[in-house]
Amino acid sequence: MALPVAATQRRAQPSRHELWYDAPATKWTEALPVGNGRLGAMVFGGTAGERLQLNEDTIWAGSAENPVNPRARAALPRVRELVFAGKFAEAEKLASADVMGVPLKQPPYQTAGSLMIDMAGADAGVTGYRRSLDLATAVAETRWTANGTTYRRRVLASPVDQVIAVRIEADRPGAIAARLGFTCPLKSWKVAPEGQDTLILSGSGDPHHGRPGAIQFEARLRVLAEGGRVTANGDALMLAGADAVTLLIAIATNFRRFDDLSADPALITRDQIARAAARPFAAIERTATTEHRRLFDRVRLDLGDGPNLPTDKRIQAMRTGDDPALAALYFDYARYLLIASSRPGTQPANLQGIWNDLPTPPWESKYTVNINTEMNYWPAEPAGLPELTEPLIRMVEEMAVTGARTAREMYGARGWVCHHNTDTWRDTAPIDGPQWGLWPTGGAWLAMHLWDRWDYGRDRAYLERIWPVLHGAALFFLDTLQRDPTTGALVTNPSISPENQHPFGGALCAGPAMDNQILRDLFDHVGAAARILGREDESTRAMAAARARLAPDRVGKAGQLMEWAEDWDMEAPERNHRHVSHLYALYPSHQIAPDTTPALAAAAKRTLELRGDEATGWATAWRINLWARLRDGDHAHRILRFLLGPDRTYPNMFDAHPPFQIDGNFGGAAGMLEMLIQDRGDTLLLLPALPSAWPQGSVTGVRLKGRGMLDLSWRGGRLASARIRSELAGERRVLLGDKAKTLRLTPGRMVRLTGRDFA
């Protein structure tokens, strides 16, 4: 099939939803990601040599095992005594030996290898090269001309057909020839042909700290040539003289659940390839794009047009200028990445989403739950992607199972607990070392995301489902909170303020501010759920009483919000630490706000001034949200510009921690929404932190708590129109600057406001 003439012509102006480049990727952080939630590929866009680096979200090293230290329960009382006595270094030494998990490291998320496409001769005299990723269609495309022949290669990951599909076309009959082969960096793998048109890569996850690699996987390639012929040659397939070709890749593992590895990957991939091969590429592309657009098209952010430059050059230009349209593209990209890495039935987005090319990636590409996993899902609800939280909710439900074992065996407590990391095996014991891992509040923070799903959707059946998880998270703290001998307050002990060290010999402490803040939200939400469901009992009354005994947030000697129970902030070793854990109360919580707690908001601002604006990628993104909550749009925008520049954004727009972590992408998108809309449930703030760099624009399809929707536009830095709809009757207070208006909402009826309504 000859390539259509229209496909060979370059667009004069790229789509607002398009990343594009004028050269192939030479590094992994220049390649373009596609994904269907479960399967992922990084597309390098080569001419003679193309690499598709492949992932499947359940390929992990190691195997399931109970990592709780058998000495932990006996050692914890002494650790607590030492912490209360101020003997922090001694407490940390004991915790290192007798409390931390065994093994001390969790296993990594791993790659499935790569498909290599060698098109020898297709790189002679290349002209008209262009590679792109269309965020609206979820198709990566490469186009070029070599020796007078124009080639086009398209790659997509179908959530419908459960394959990665590749289409290669040329405008000259018989021009396509290629060698196709798999490669893999894991320790155990092999490649073999099946017939003349199929190639199979099979392998297993690597062993980890004595745990065998329990994950078995298979990647299956099927070559569907139009014209020419396909033959097997050793561990490769050879394609010659084709007019066009479709490549179908299916990948599966034996993973069903963290405690069930009974699936048959060969049977699964064989069935997926057979089903997809019965349909032409055009049909696969059409259904995949339709399913993608069902989610992607719900929300649109418009900040104007940008320059007609390759995306990497626009990122470089952020060092000295501004490009509002690049910010909108970054927002769209974050929504695209969440759609591509977290769908119902898949695993949640991990530290790198689903994209990883290494056997041991940075931080093992796990689920770090002292900020990073939570940040991945910050934009999901307001940015119109609520169903994409299903993998996170399911993971927390599974962690409540393993976390109950950890609570019982390690603490002698009811309920469930997770410390600062988990993995595909849902391990919940503390890892890495006390200064990072001995933090018992990770599960409690994750439970707040389950509450958010209720708060936005208001589905009573869902609230019934998550009730045992919410209640269990709070029950653990009823059993483990300790009475501070000095103040009488209830405190966590041992704990840390993630991942910061205080000035007295380590990180272990009692009652850091973040723990108190998270527990206030947890106890409040469990109490609210109990009232809605009629579940109030002795335990929920005890939770309310415990909440009242938590220490309040306090202002320190430098005017800052205190991070620890004592005023240690100004003597801490890292004054500009990347974590700002004690500002959880400002964002994502609403416990602190300029109009409700002005003194604490001022202290939070002072903390941010002391910490500085420029940090790692995700920490920079968090600061955008925090400054937006303080209603300083220009300051938030200044940090956003740094995030979008080459120091914190790779050429393919992945967040540069550095190295790559995907949470910065998601946190940055959430921050942009916070600049435009802040939703406290009963109160809605319009344009609370609009920067002067965005004098006009619009956002449509934003979801509100209580099953509401909002469209918003502004001109000249002022509100032009706000349209609010709700599926539930009730009142909502709307703020524009210091002016307020109370709306009475009727289900299905849209209310329109303009700036004049607040005069």
Could you tell me where the beta strands, DSSP code E, fall in 374-493?
421-422, 482-483, 490-491
SS3 of residue 109 by DSSP: strand
159-172 burial: b if 16+ Cβ within 10 Å, else e: bbbbbbbbbbbbbe
pLDDT of 2 above 80 = no
pLDDT of 10 above 50 = no
Q: Which amino acid is at 323?
A: D
pLDDT of 236 above 50 = yes
pLDDT of 123 above 90 = no
User: Which residues are bridge partners to 483 per DSSP?
Assistant: 490
Mean pLDDT of 151-176: 97
pLDDT of 710 above 70 = yes
Q: Does residue 494 have a cis bond before it (omega within 30 degrees)?
A: yes
- Tell me what percent of the residues of the chain surpass a pLDDT of 70: 98
pLDDT, tens digit, 9 for 90 and up, residues 678-688: 999 999 999 99
What Cα–Cα distance (Å) separates residue 546 from each residue in 469, 481, 550, 553? 19, 9, 7, 16
Q: How confident is the model at residue 1 (pLDDT cuts 50, 70, 90)?
A: very low
Mean pLDDT of 562-585: 95
pLDDT, tens digit, 9 for 90 and up, residues 45-75: 999 999 999 999 999 999 999 999 999 999 9
Q: Please tell me the distance from the alpha carbon of residue 331 to that of residue 649, in angstroms, as a whole number.
A: 13
pLDDT of 15 above 90 = no
pLDDT of 293 above 90 = yes
Q: How confident is the model at residue 4 (pLDDT cuts 50, 70, 90)?
A: very low
Q: Does residue 512 have a cis bond before it (omega within 30 degrees)?
A: no
- Mean pLDDT for the chain? 96
Mean pLDDT of 334-351: 98
- Tell me what percent of the residues of the chain surpass a pLDDT of 90: 96
Specify the pairing of strand 697-704 against strand 708-715: antiparallel
Mean pLDDT of 116-129: 92
Mean pLDDT of 294-303: 98
pTM of the model: 0.97
Q: How confident is the model at residue 13 (pLDDT cuts 50, 70, 90)?
A: low
What Cα–Cα distance (Å) separates residue 135 from each residue in 289, 291, 611, 650? 10, 13, 35, 17
pLDDT of 296 above 70 = yes
Mean pLDDT of 123-142: 96
**H or E stretch at 149:** strand 149-158
Q: Which amino acid is at 460?
A: R
Q: How confident is the model at residue 759 (pLDDT cuts 50, 70, 90)?
A: confident
pLDDT, tens digit, 9 for 90 and up, residues 510-564: 999 999 999 999 999 999 999 999 999 999 999 999 999 999 999 999 999 999 9
**H or E stretch at 402:** helix 390-406
Could you tell me where the beta strands, DSSP code E, fall in 376-462?
421-422
Q: How confident is the model at residue 3 (pLDDT cuts 50, 70, 90)?
A: low
Q: Running DSSP on this structure, what letter comes out for residue 120?
A: T
Cβ distance 535 to 529 under 8 Å? Answer: yes
